[in-house]
Amino acid sequence: MTDGPRSDVGRWGVSPWQPPTTPSPEPEPEPDRRSRRGSRSFWARCCSCCSCRSGADDDWGTGPHRDSGSRGGGSSSGGRRPGSRPISRGSGVNAAGDGAIREGMLVVTGVDLMCSRSDQNRREHHTDEFEYDELILRRGQPFHMVLFLSRPYESSDRVILELHIGNNPEVGKGTHVIIPVGKGGSGGWKAQVTKSSGQNLNLRVHTSPNAIIGKFQFTVRTHSEAGEFLLPFDPHNEIYILFNPWCPEDIVYVDREDWRQEYVLNESGRIYYGTEAQIGERTWNYGQFDHGVLDACLYILDRRGMPYGGRGDPVSVSRVISAMVNSLDDNGVLIGNWSGDYSRGTNPSAWVGSVEILLSYLRTGSSVPYGQCWVFAGVTTSVLRCLGLATRTVTNFNSAHDTDTSLTMDIYFDENMKPLEHLNHDSVWNFHVWNDCWMKRPDLPSGFDGWQVVDATPQETSSGIFCCGPCSLQSIKNGLVYMKYDTPFIFAEVNSDKVYWQRQDDGSFKIVYVEEKAIGTLIVTKAIGSNMQEDVTHLYKHPEGSEAERKAVETATAHGSKPNVYATRDSAEDVAIQVEAQDAVMGQDLAVSVVLTNRSSSSSRTVKLHLYLSVTFYTGVTGSVFKENKKEVVLAPGASDRVTMPVAYQEYKPHLVDQGAMLLNVSGHVKESGQVLAKQHTFRLRTPDLSLTLLGAAMVGQECEVQIVFKNPLPITLTNVVFRLEGSGLQRPKILNVGDIGGNETVTLRQTFVPVRPGPRQLIASLDSPQLSQVHGVIQVDVAPASGSRGVFSDAGGSSRSGETIPMASRGGA
């Protein structure tokens, strides 16, 4: 993404963020949530001219305003139990003029925003799952309210509704909205009287499809012959406004209801990992409707001083989120860690959802340790779905990381075709996880609407900051790398060629092999309405080897740093190579095989073969070679032969790293033709699943019990074992310390929870220890509603206990 100077760098700047003083009621975070602050602000680095804006401008203030959903926003319910239907009653104070209330004035004595989950507003706006008391709306859609007045409403009275957001609201920036009742407002805002009965005034209010998203203060102003009245601001009357994929006038509009149900309203999903041949999957709790998560999402925008006036633009909002979900630059949500040492935080594999991470960030303002790509992507899905953007989590297998904008993956070998790791700066990740979000792109020419890539994993900088996207899938598919944002980097991730360079006797390097189908071999996401995976590779690239695909690659590489990279290529290839690895479980012996095939029908071929085996992080960073094999193979015309290398558990055990992945580098030389063979193959060791069983029926407000069973697959003791349990509407994030688990031992534990919302729910668990990670389990829980109620949010289901020590219910041998 370091694609040179740009004309579209940043548009914002802000003074250093100051932490709000309002404490949050959210659960205690993990210990040692540390922060790192940069010397210059996020927006100042993004655009130097913006950093000089006057501090008097409301969009460039010194810190987040309390009314915008910042860290203290979690307490805005004022102590009311969720699920109640608050009606704000006037204080008898006039906030206008001299404050006097005169006889005959039209005094607003109360407001009913009809904001409970069972009311019409929340149901029609698809926000009834939010565990909030306040009114939550989607823009571009009408809602209803009732004003309680001191006297009957008369035709000569004027009623004006007002919404404010930001430190110094201004009409011109959309941060101060004025809506005269019975008259057309500006920008799509308007309000009409639907019923006037006695001292009650029923209104239907239309919001603008371009409205700013965030938490607004609401008040009412009246004018009558007796004078002006202004209702004082009441925190109970705060209104959240979100993007609206149900509104055709909103640029985030999605025209398929099944897509909206999956990509906006679904609170859990599947994330895929591993290798293309050995795909693993895990369930992730997005939890976008959990109490506190919406405030955390708005706090992220506040934290980096994004101007309120720009928060109606999903292009800008998604780009900010891609930057702020990682901690680099300016102390964002998650600290990335690929070192293998997670002793000062949480192993990325141990997280089961986004809620604990977001609530910790909201409460402390400190970056949460630690995340890797699927955690960044899972949190990004939670945030964007919460704000109203249709978003999905996408996995790209064999994902390239191009460090020099050449749009090729360059791998260097010595004269004997042994990898030269000190020169191999480009890498191929076994898998990489990012996000697609749906929107129109009015900032681009026509044809680039629809799915846009957003990647919050910090890999390379874009305009000087660690962010990526939004980038149209159409520009990626056709190699249009000059389209913003960050198309060159993402194109290389899915459709670059792997170029093998061999050092010659004179020290120069020569291209000996180009692998054209090695990158972006499979791109998947969770299917709509099921837990199956959906192949979306065709949305990112034309069929491999097709004329359109080759044209896209040529178009892209022409704009790269090595436009003539293929000029030195020469090859004569009649020996084919294929690598096979058996499906192996962590703790067991395994074997890898190389199959050589002579495609010549008339001549024999003699192949000098080298096999180098090493462990590898999923990011493509490899350890030292711990086993190698050399063999000469003679192939008759049209014949095949297999070379097998057995690997014992005791051989690979000392070298294992996260994810249990290994890399086999295969190289060879054909004596008769001079053909050079080169192949890299990654495979992984499977880990066991947790088995979850529900013990009894689940009902809102009633205690329920779940049983978790795990068998240690290793012959060694697992120490300091930690379980995590989480499920939206079922269980707030919970941490269970269970101590040690012996070699090949089976353990069982039971936990109780109290469901707080009805319907089908996912309860997700994970296990982590220094010796074994990436162990997960999930169970669907169908929750019946409480008798005579849609469900009440209770502390019993919402508690979060950190560091609880849990005794085992039973233990068993192998």
Binding residues for Ca(2+): 495, 497, 544, 549
**Among 552, 489, 497, 486, residue whose Cα is nearest residue 519:** 497
Closest by CA position to 441, among listed 468, 467, 471: 471
Choosing from 47, 247, 297, 373, the catalytic residue is: 373
Neighbouring-strand partners of residue 281? 272
Q: Can you spell out the DSSP letters for 168-227? A: S--GGGTSEEEEEBTSB-STT-EEEEEEEETTEEEEEEEPPTTPPPEEEEEEEEEEETTE
Coil, helix or strand at residue 772: coil
Rounded CA separation 135/559 (Å): 49
Residue 291 makes CB contacts below 8 A (sequence gap 6+) with: 74, 82, 131, 132, 793, 798
Q: Do the Cβ atoms of 284 and 764 come closer than 8 Å?
A: yes
**Distances in Å between the alpha carbon of 570 and those of 507, 510, 512, 577, 695?**
19, 9, 7, 18, 66
User: Angle at Cα 659 formed by Cα 657 and Cα 664, nearest 5°?
Assistant: 75
Q: How far apart are CA 662 and CA 660, in angstroms?
A: 7
The dihedrals phi and psi of 695, each to the nearest 5 degrees, come to -105, 80
Strand 408-413 with 227-230, pairing? unpaired
Cα(465)–Cα(42) distance, rounded to whole angstroms?
7
Phi and psi at 523, nearest 5°, equal: -125, 120
Q: How many Cα atoms sit within 13 Å of 326 on the Cβ side? A: 25
- Phi, psi values for residue 386, rounded to 5°: -60, -40
Q: How many CB atoms lie within 10 A of CB 794?
A: 17
Give the H/E segment covering residue 299: helix 293-303
Residue with structure tokens 């998203």?
213
* Cβ neighbours, 10 Å, residue 48: 14
Quote the CA–CA distance of 117 and 154 in Å, as a whole number.
32
Q: Which residues are annotated as a binding site?
A: 495, 497, 544, 549
Q: Is-contact 356 284, C-beta < 8 A?
A: no
Token couple for 748:
């069982």
Contacts with 642 (C-beta within 8 Å, 6 or more apart), sequence order: 593, 594, 595, 596
750 Cβ contact list (under 8 Å, min separation 6): 695, 705, 706, 707, 708, 809
Q: Which of 125, 432, 669, 681 is catalytic?
A: 432
Determine the Cα–Cα distance for residues 277 and 162; give it in Å rounded to an integer: 58
Task: Report DSSP state, residue 261.
Answer: I
Picking from 201, 205, 204, the residue whose alpha carbon sits closest to that of residue 216 is 205
Residues contacting residue 589 through CB under 8 Å, at least 6 positions apart: 646, 647, 648, 649
- Count CB-CB contacts under 10 A for residue 671: 13
455 catalytically annotated: yes
Q: Residue 373 catalytic?
A: yes
Q: Which residues lie below 8 Å from residue 239, measured CB to CB, with a gap of 6+?
A: 113, 134, 135, 136, 137, 163, 215, 216, 218
User: HSE (CB half, 13 Å, CA atoms) of 583?
Assistant: 6
Which residue in the list 234, 455, 486, 768 is annotated as catalytic? 455
Residue 144's nearest CA partner among 193, 87, 107, 97 is 193
Q: Which residues are the active-site residues?
A: 373, 432, 455
